[in-house]
Amino acid sequence: MSKLDEKKEYIGLLKTYLGIIVAFILAVGAGISKLYIANHINILFWIGLCLIFLSSFLFILIAKKAHKEVENLRDIKE
């Protein structure tokens, strides 16, 4: 497998991770919104809120890494 193909696979993997994180954020967001609507502001609500913030931060880090890898593709020659 050439270096270019390896980088493309790595970028694809990062995109998959981003999709998983988005699905996680949506699922947790739905859960905490349901708790909020039912007026059950308890520890699960706050844990879910913290998880959303942490997941958003992780999303930003992985997205930046993916953008760097895409930019590095220009430097690779077969």
Looking at residue 73, its pLDDT comes to 83
DSSP state of 78: -
At residue 6 the predicted structure's pLDDT band, cuts being 50, 70 and 90, is: confident
Kindly report, residue by residue over 20-50, the tens digit of the pLDDT.
Answer: 999 999 999 999 999 999 999 999 999 999 9
Contacts of 32 (CB under 8 A, 6+ apart): 44, 45, 48, 49, 52
| pLDDT above 80: residue 1 | no
| pLDDT above 80: residue 52 | yes
Based on its alpha-carbon atoms, the radius of gyration of the chain, rounded to whole angstroms, reads: 18
Would you say 8 and 69 are in contact if contact means Cβ atoms under 8 Å apart?
A: no
For the chain, give every domain's residue range: 3-75
User: In angstroms, how far apart are the furthest CA atoms of the chain?
Assistant: 59
